[in-house]
């Protein structure tokens, strides 16, 4: 990797982090993922992944990002359809953002990222359901977005 490629990769991480914070705060308050925030995130991360691939002349990150976005979207869409309306369309869109980001880093982060949001949400969900009943809802978006840095940490250790 060249220095320019490293800078672009860092910018991709920063862009993801900034939009993740913005979406997480709004989703926690309103249990809603705004389409405009999702479009900004997908556009910014997608553009930076494409620029990174162009500079490095390695199309692996760009192809991985597309595969990641489509596969994460599909898995979460299926879970949303099979579940009890606990997973909204905004969460499915966030899964595409997560897949776009993690897919650009390789197969291992993408595979870890498929299950990690559910694992991260299990404890808080159980606590809310235990205290307030099964009809209570929590914002799942922050757990989806938080799984990216945790996934990269796990993938870098393994």
pLDDT tens digits, one per residue of 6-33? 999 999 999 999 999 999 999 999 989 9
Confidence grade of residue 158 (pLDDT, cut at 50, 70, 90): low
Q: How far apart are the first and last CA of the chain?
A: 21
CA atoms within 13 A on the CB side of 59: 3
Domain containing residue 26: 3-157
Contact predicate 72/113, CB 8 Å: yes
- Mind listing the pLDDT tens digit for each residue in 43-77? 999 999 999 999 899 999 999 999 999 999 999 89
User: For 116-128, what is each residue's pLDDT tens digit?
Assistant: 888 887 777 777 7
**Is the per-residue pLDDT at 1 higher than 60?**
no
CA 108 to chain centroid, in Å, comes to: 15
Q: What is the mean pLDDT of the chain?
A: 89
How does residue 132 score in pLDDT terms, banded at 50, 70 and 90? confident
CB atoms within 10 A of CB 93: 24
Q: What is the pLDDT of residue 98?
A: 96
Could you tell me which residue, 137 or 3, shows the higher pLDDT? 3
Do 137 and 31 form a contact (C-beta atoms < 8 A)? yes
- Name the domain count of the chain: 1
Tokens 């953002």 sit on residue? 97
- pLDDT tens column, 65-117: 999 999 999 998 998 888 766 788 999 999 999 999 999 999 999 999 888 88
Q: Any residues with CB less than 8 A from the CB of 150 and at least 6 apart, and which?
A: 116, 120
Q: What pLDDT is stored for residue 44 in this prediction?
A: 97
Q: Which residues contact 49 (CB under 8 A, 6 or more apart)?
A: 12, 61, 62, 65, 100, 101, 104
Indicate the pTM of the whole model: 0.90
Residue labelled with tokens 């553009």? 47
Dihedral sign, Cα of residue 50, residue 79, residue 34, residue 109: negative
Q: How deeply is 45 buried, as exposed, middle or buried, from its count of CB atoms within 10 A (0-12, 13-18, 19+)?
A: buried
């Amino acid at each position: 990797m060249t220095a320019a490629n490293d800078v672009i990769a860092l910018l991709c991480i920063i862009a993801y982090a900034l939009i993740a914070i913005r979406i997480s705060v709004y989703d926690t308050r309103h249990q809603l993922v705004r389409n405009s925030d999702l479009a900004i995130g997908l556009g910014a991360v997608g553009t930076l992944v494409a620029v990174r691939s162009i500079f490095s002349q390695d199309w692996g990150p760009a192809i991985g990002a597309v595969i990641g976005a489509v596969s994460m979207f599909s898995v979460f869409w299926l879970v949303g359809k099979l579940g009890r309306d606990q997973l909204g369309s905004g969460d499915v869109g966030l899964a595409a953002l997560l897949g776009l980001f993690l897919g650009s880093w390789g197969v291992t982060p993408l595979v870890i990222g498929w299950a990690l949001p559910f694992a991260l949400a299990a404890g808080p969900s159980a606590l809310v359901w235990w205290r307030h009943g099964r009809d209570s809802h929590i914002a799942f978006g922050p757990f989806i977005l938080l799984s990216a840095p945790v996934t990269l940490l796990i993938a870098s250790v393994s």
